[in-house]
Chain A
Amino acid sequence: MRFTKAWYKDTTPKGKIVYRPILDVYINEIGGWNKYDFIVDSGADISLMPEYIAEEIGLDWEKGQKIEMRGISQKEECFVEGRIHEIDIRIPDINLEIQIPVCFAKGNTPFLLGREGFFDYFRITFEKEKLRTVFELIEE
């Protein structure tokens, strides 16, 4: 089972066009299903969402596995605290529900699909020349 997703277009301050690989997935929240546009990030160790979404899903944020993260800045004040929870996400393109670990981090963070968990389900090919991502389900 495979499907493709086109990258979306953005620009830099100098007007240079950049394209980013995204995947839209559905998450069941207390108020109903909503769709989130995640950046597919092979450089991220784990998937990421803002802390508040854990509350929306009905999770007790504190009960997750405690973790500290950092991005490109090495400064200690730039470390971000998070909690890892396993959550179910739905991918309508192939009628699939999978469970992945997500780090719910303090603050208003981006939505990222990282390697741990998500990349175990799919063989992912970034086709820059076609500005699209190919997702192939790894069925065992």
Chain B
Amino acid sequence: MKKIKHIKFTDEELQEIKKGDEDEKWLNSLSPGKLREYAGEYIAVKGKRIVTHSKSIRKLHEKLDDLNLSFVTIRRIEGPVLVVY
């Protein structure tokens, strides 16, 4: 059963979302070669920079907790292979 809720973000959330969109654009603008060093890892992006990375999603979150960060963009960087999930 579908559960849909139309939401109104708070001003604070909207600001964070806008920053998140900018981080997304920044991440997508990087050349694949630039991200190759993180192949097989999860990365966390905030403020147009990679704030932490790890092969383990648990460790990535532990690092984010240490940095006291939320509203980060988390992406898994694939290895240099063709992906067929």
- A53 to B58 CA separation, bound complex (whole angstroms): 8
State in angstroms the CA–CA spacing of A119 and B59 once bound together: 31
- Known A6-B28, A31-B70; contact A108-B6, beta-carbon cutoff 8 A: no
How many A residues, CB 8 Å from partner?
47
Question: A interface, by DSSP: helix, strand, loop or mixed?
Answer: strand
Interface pair A34/B4, CB less than 8 Å apart: no
- Whole-angstrom distance between the Cβ of A119 and the nearest chain B Cβ: 11
A-chain residues with CB within 8 Å of residue B71 when the two chains form the complex: 32-35
Say whether, besides A35-B20, A37-B73, A96-B6, A10 and B57 are in contact (CB < 8 Å).
no
Identify the B interface with A (CB < 8 A): 2-9, 13, 16-17, 20, 24, 27-28, 32-33, 42, 55-58, 61, 64-65, 70-76, 78, 80-85
